[in-house]
């Protein structure tokens, strides 16, 4: 199998590359930056700003990267709760359009696109939702809006010579995590984390090895007319966790001071709205300490069933939740988090 991974140097992308290489596949990667560690593993690397690629040009890096590939895994994206809309649009919408167009022009038969459950988030709780949950129409941040637009765009391209499927891994964690857990732990050590809401909200987590495995499992069975062609699937652990209990256990295992204060979901939402206005009007740097999107994510349930993914393309976890947590804690301790 000859595959292309966009964003092969990223958190999910690098794990996807590792698993592809372990299968003996020929792997190429395309990213904005250079990743010598991928080249050292035998990965053919290309550099490009995917949001600005000219796909009509046969000699463009993206066209050359996609040429002769059996499948494209599109994981490259800009994530975040704050930032300029144009940046999210270029990295998530235009880049997806360009990747899909290049794959079509080069005759790639399969495309697996990485989206996000936040593309469906309206601010209300989602409990064991499945693939029938619609994409949101109104958004609390630029990131989920851009991912929803990209998802609609790429799914519209299926049905012809290229089969497309979309995956929405939720709260990816594991060794090498550059964002989620290190940021939570840092805020906890500084005493800057409050429990938002009643603390009973349940969420689905996704260990990084399982997120990558789901993409391989989907790709191997993907073809026009396959049950998962033209559809989007939530990916994560079969059993959700109570978010704040999980954070409490994480902190206890790492000797992080426990969370002792809380705030209502309504108050957090109001503070988030005020912060957003101030950051925009005063053009303050960095991220606001609270936004409406973050308040909603921390106080509502967002859990998903894995039954559709198991039914349609045989999704199975490679790593059990307890083992995933043990490996993650070991890495966090070694990293000094």
Does residue 207 have an active-site annotation? no
Q: Where in the sequence is the domain holding 310, given as residue range(s)?
A: 2-173+204-236+302-319
Averaged pLDDT of the chain = 96
Output the pLDDT for position 179: 86
Model confidence band, residue 158 (pLDDT cutoffs 50, 70, 90)? confident
> Residue 168: what pLDDT?
98
Q: Could you report the per-residue pLDDT of 256-273, keeping only the tens digit for each? A: 999 999 999 999 999 999
Beta strand ranges found along 292-334 (DSSP E): 302-304
Q: Confidence band (pLDDT; 50, 70, 90) for 236?
A: very high
Burial (CB count within 10 angstroms: exposed 0-12, middle 13-18, buried 19+), residue 5: buried
Q: What is the CATH number of the domain that holds 13?
A: 3.40.50.720
Least confident of 170-174, 177-181, 219-223: 177-181
Instruction: Return the percentage of the chain with pLDDT > 90, whole number.
Output: 95
Tens of pLDDT, residue by residue over 142-156, are 999 999 999 999 999
Note whether residue 283 is domain-resident.
no
Q: Is residue 20 part of a domain?
A: yes
Whether the per-residue pLDDT at 159 is higher than 90: the answer is: no
Residue 119 lies in a domain: yes
Residue 335 lies in a domain: no
Confidence of residue 337 (pLDDT cuts 50, 70, 90): confident
Q: What is the pLDDT of residue 62?
A: 98
pLDDT digits (tens, 9 = 90+) for 53-77: 999 999 999 999 999 999 999 999 9
Tell me the pairing of strands 110-114 and 163-169.
parallel
**Domain contains 261:** no
For 272-284, what is the HEC assignment? HHHHHHHHHHCCC
Total of domains in the chain = 1
CA distances from 209 to 198, 199, 235, 321 (A): 31, 28, 12, 11
Contact yes or no for 193/158 (Cβ under 8 A) = no
pTM: 0.96
- At 160, the pLDDT band (50, 70, 90 cuts) reads confident
Among the listed residues 143, 207, 233, 315, the single catalytic one is: 143
Kindly state whether residue 135 falls inside one of the protein's structural domains.
yes
pLDDT at res. 161: 86
């Amino acid at each position: 199998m000859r595959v292309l991974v966009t964003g092969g140097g990223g958190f999910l992308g690098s794990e996807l590359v590792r698993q592809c290489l372990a299968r003996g596949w020929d792997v190429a990667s395309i990213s904005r930056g250079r990743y010598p560690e991928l080249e050292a593993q035998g990965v053919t690397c290309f550099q490009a700003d995917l949001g600005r690629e000219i796909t009509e040009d046969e000699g463009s890096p993206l066209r050359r990267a996609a040429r002769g590939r059996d499948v494209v895994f599109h994981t490259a994206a800009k994530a975040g709760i704050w930032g300029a809309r144009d940046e999210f649009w270029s990295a998530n919408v235009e880049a997806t359009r360009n990747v899909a167009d290049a794959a079509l022009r080069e005759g790639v038969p399969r495309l697996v696109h990485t989206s996000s459950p936040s593309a469906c988030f309206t601010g209300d709780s989602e409990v064991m939702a499945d693939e029938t949950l619609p994409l949101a129409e109104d958004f609390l941040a630029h990131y989920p809006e851009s991912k929803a637009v990209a998802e609609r765009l790429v799914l519209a391209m299926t049905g012809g010579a290229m089969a497309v499927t979309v995956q929405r891994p939720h709260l990816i964690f594991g060794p090498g995590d550059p964002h989620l857990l290190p940021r939570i732990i840092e805020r906890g050590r500084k005493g800057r984390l409050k429990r938002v809401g009643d603390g009973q909200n349940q969420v689905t987590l996704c260990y990084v090895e399982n997120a990558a495995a789901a993409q391989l499992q989907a790709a191997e069975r993907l073809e026009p007319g396959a049950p998962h062609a033209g559809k989007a699937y939530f990916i994560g652990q079969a059993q959700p966790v109570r978010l704040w209990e999980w954070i409490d256990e994480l902190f206890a295992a790492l000797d992080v001071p426990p969370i002792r204060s809380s705030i209502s979901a309504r108050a957090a939402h109001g503070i988030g709205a005020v912060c957003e206005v101030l950051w925009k009007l005063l053009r303050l740097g960095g991220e606001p300490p609270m936004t409406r999107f973050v308040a909603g994510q921390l106080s509502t349930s967002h859990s998903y069933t894995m039954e559709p993914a198991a039914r349609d393309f045989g999704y199975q976890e490679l790593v059990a939740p307890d083992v995933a947590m043990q490996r993650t804690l070991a890495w966090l301790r070694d990293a000094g988090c």
